Structure 1
């Protein structure tokens, strides 16, 4: 099973209480499931509004079950934010 890093930004970082943590998952859906188990509460609510980048590529509207994660990859968790 691939291992990599999840990075949290802005409100997701505040809700998680950390800036990054490891994942051990085949898909984005599995990684997000792990995150929800480790951080029940505010982060679960924040994740509903987030966008995700996997290895720098936007996930967009793709089903998270179809987004494969790579060994040594990075998932960026991006809550909505204003500004430039």
Structure 2
């Protein structure tokens, strides 16, 4: 398992109730599942994350399966919800 930081932006940050939190996961799919099932998380958070794009250490995940994206130790996952006009 790798440990790092998940950063939330815009609507994801509002729904999470925090700008960032630690992850302890092997893959992006595991980190997302842990974040969504976190204590006190709303259905809105799950909805926003489900529509979000992700960067891992600044590299777009794109259409890769989240289970195939291995997270690095000390990495940063950026959760980017859809923005107006984009």
Other structure's SS at 1:71 match:
coil
Gaps of 5+ in 2: none
Question: What SS does structure 1 have at the residue aligned with 2:37?
Answer: helix
Within-5 A mapping of 1:1-84: 1-38=1-38, 39-82=41-84
The separation in 2 between residues aligned to 1:40 and 1:68, in whole angstroms, is 26
C-alpha RMSD of matched pairs (Å): 1.3
Aligned residues: 84
TM-score between both structures, scaled by the size of structure 2: 0.93
Q: Deviations over 1:47-75 (max 9, x none)?
A: 11100000100000000000000000000
Name the TM-score, length of structure 1 as normaliser. 0.95
Where does structure 1 differ by over 3 angstroms across 4 or more consecutive aligned residues?
Answer: none
Unpaired stretches in structure 1, ≥5 consecutive residues: none
Q: Is the 8 A contact 2:16 2:45 kept in 1?
A: yes
